[in-house]
């Protein structure tokens, strides 16, 4: 399926295998399905005019005709289940399940009564009856849990950064303390060496005094006598 004369196609999703990623503007979309299968492709077509651009959204039925897949551009896809109805707008695809709107519009993810679904093909498969409501609900819940997990990871990473900073500060404090201890030990050794030298000098000077020498001689003489 191709756009014509420079017009664009915005692929919004499909219930069958396709070549384009969801919510992407392309010039053409290829699809495939098994013989006997049916489904649909959701697109938004842009008609470019000299002074304006018009946009139209479609659910186009695809089926096997003859010996090849076929896109019916002249008919609209009719959901096989009356309680599974979808809608298309510029921002994406949406369906309602048990009073909750499940949408591929990222801007609606935090709005009350709405749940964001990143996989637009899943919503298409739900509309076509290929998956049940639980698959859609589970996908929405997984996205919420994944987002919460990412926030938790970011918080933990910030805490790790803070802890690493504290550990770095602790290492700096220990280094400074060890450095001071080394300086104190060096100073203490110098003081002890100086004191010992002074003690030796004092002793030597004391013994060389005349009065001390005479007293020592008198003591020696007294022991001899």
**Cα separation, 78 vs 26, whole angstroms:** 25
Task: Flag whether 89 is in a domain.
Answer: yes
Task: Flag whether 91 is in a domain.
Answer: yes
Task: Flag whether 2 is in a domain.
Answer: no
Query: In this structure, are strands 114-116 and 100-103 parallel, antiparallel, or unpaired?
Result: parallel
Q: Which pTM does this prediction carry?
A: 0.62
- Residues 222 and 142 placed together within one structural domain of the fold: yes
pLDDT for 82: 83
**Cα separation, 93 vs 57, whole angstroms:** 10
The string over 173-201, giving b where at least 16 C-beta atoms fall within 10 Å of a residue's C-beta and e elsewhere, is eeeeeeeeeeeeeeeeeeeeeeeeeeeee
Domain that holds residue 192: 132-225
pLDDT for 204: 65
Q: How many domains does the chain have?
A: 2
Tokens for 29, please give them: 């979309």
Q: Which of 18, 30, 36 is nearest to 121 (CA)?
A: 18
pLDDT for 148: 81
- Spans in the chain with pLDDT lower than 70: 1-7, 19-21, 23, 194-195, 198-225
pLDDT for 163: 85
> In the listed set 115, 131, 147, which residue is the last one of a domain according to the structure?
131
pLDDT for 2: 45
**Cα separation, 58 vs 63, whole angstroms:** 16
């Amino acid at each position: 399926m191709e756009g014509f004369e420079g017009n664009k196609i915005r692929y919004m999703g499909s219930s069958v295998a396709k070549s384009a990623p969801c919510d992407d503007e392309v010039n053409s979309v290829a699809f495939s399905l098994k013989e006997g299968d049916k489904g649909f492709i959701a697109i938004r077509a842009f008609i470019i005019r000299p002074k304006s651009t018009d946009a139209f959204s479609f659910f186009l039925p695809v089926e096997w005709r003859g010996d090849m897949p076929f896109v019916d551009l002249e008919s609209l896809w009719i959901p096989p289940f009356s309680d599974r109805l979808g809608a298309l707008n510029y921002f994406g695809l949406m369906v309602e399940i048990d009073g909750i709107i499940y949408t591929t519009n990222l801007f609606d993810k935090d709005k009350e009564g709405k749940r964001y679904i990143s996989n637009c093909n899943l919503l298409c498969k739900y509309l076509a009856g290929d998956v049940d409501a639980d698959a859609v609900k589970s996908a929405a819940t997984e996205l919420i849990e994944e987002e919460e997990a990412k926030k938790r990871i970011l918080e933990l990473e910030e805490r790790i950064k803070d802890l690493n900073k504290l550990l770095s500060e602790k290492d700096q404090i220990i280094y400074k303390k060890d450095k001071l201890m080394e300086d104190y030990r060096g100073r203490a050794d110098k003081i002890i060496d100086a004191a010992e030298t002074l003690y030796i000098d004092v002793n030597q000077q004391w013994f060389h005094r005349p009065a001390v020498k005479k007293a020592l001689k008198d003591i020696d003489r007294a022991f001899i006598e």
